[in-house]
Amino acid sequence: MSRYLHGAMINCFVGALSLIRCPAIMSFPVLSQFASIKIAATENMSLLALVLSAVFALAWYLWIICFRTPKGSPPGPFGLPIVGSLPFLDPELHTYFADLARRYGPVLKIMLGKKVCIVVSSPSVAREVLKDQDTTFANRDVPIAARIATYGGKDIGWNPYGPEWRMLRKICVLKMLSNATLDSVYGLRRREVRTMVKYLYEQAGSPVNVGEQMFLTILNVVTGMIWGGTLQGEARDMVAAEFRSLVSGIVALLGKPNVSDFFPGLARFDLQGVAKEMKVLAKRLDGIFETVIDQRVRMEEERGGMRSSSNGKDFLAYLLKVKDEEDFNPPLTMDGLKALLMVRLRIPYSSIIFLAGSPCTEAFSPALNTDKRK
């Protein structure tokens, strides 16, 4: 019985509130005053909630700064809550960091979103970090785009310091960066440069895209160093045509600021679409690697076995030989092999893509504009 009475009282109260909003009832002074008091109370509650939220956010931010900052951390600008110093970054970072160094010293801390970054601007401290204590500071956070492009950060640039990194360094020192390797491709470099000069001479009096020719020349040199004559004829031309768009797109994405790198919690949403675009490019590049590797394996099998003919001069033959050997610990995996190929391709193309359409090529001649030369 009490339950029914309680429900009836609630219904009456709700009905009374609804009558307050009725124009006929609002004509009564008492009810009109009651309605205005209710509206004012609602506005005051909203304002109070907003003020309390702001106070709570400020207190939380101050608590993080005062109590959660590790002791002994270098000084630096406080920045804003959540975003840190991201809104204050200058496009000319060297001048921005120089101003901060004059204010906070040669070693300073800066918050970029959720990432804590340490800036070193003194030659003596840089020598300490990069030379004397290089193994301590060798590891770094892998950006999402770089992790996708390098098969999970398996290349020598992003791999954490350890046995696998030392194995990759050994491979690069012995083969990729050795003087013997550079001397062995001297004839290849000379032939490709002569071909470019001959083409430019034959095009005298007509517009020539110098950047395009520079890119194609170094493309031929680098691919010749990596996989030699694995691809010939039409297949070689098709790979060369696709390489420019792939590598230029990958290099552009690697240099593009990604909000997911500063706020790891947002990585799953991929707000800028960087991860999605990089996966498409990396898949296409992986298809080229698979084609070249399969072709090289078939060529070596036709010649009587991989080991008997793997003493060639190209980098791919050496990597396939290392992959099959047991002397390297840990062993070189196929993903690690492809990541090394990616590094070997990316290093020269970063500068070539910059030169291919930039005003820097104007230094060749006063008559040279951004793209063309007659």
Task: Determine the pLDDT at residue 17.
Answer: 42
Domain boundaries, the chain: 2-67, 86-137, 163-373
Beta strand spans in the chain (E): 107-112, 115-120, 208-209, 372-373
Separation of alpha carbons 317 and 326, rounded Å: 16
Q: Is 204 left (phi over 0), alpha (psi -120 to 50) or beta?
A: beta
Mean pLDDT in order along the chain per 10 residues (374 residues): 43 44 46 54 71 73 59 83 89 92 94 91 92 89 93 89 89 80 85 91 89 80 78 68 82 91 93 96 92 86 57 76 80 90 68 44 36 40
Q: Is 314 left (phi over 0), alpha (psi -120 to 50) or beta?
A: beta
Predicted TM-score (pTM) of the model is 0.72
Task: Determine the pLDDT at residue 272.
Answer: 95
Task: Determine the pLDDT at residue 215.
Answer: 76
Separation of alpha carbons 60 and 66, rounded Å: 10
Separation of alpha carbons 374 and 367, rounded Å: 8
**Cα–Cα distances in angstroms (integers) from residue 62 to residues 69, 87, 205, 206, in the given order:** 10, 19, 69, 67
Task: Determine the pLDDT at residue 174.
Answer: 80
Tokens of 94: 């060297």
Residue 187: which residues within 8 A CB-CB, separation 6 or more? none
Instruction: Tell the CATH topology of 163-373.
Output: Cytochrome p450 (1.10.630)
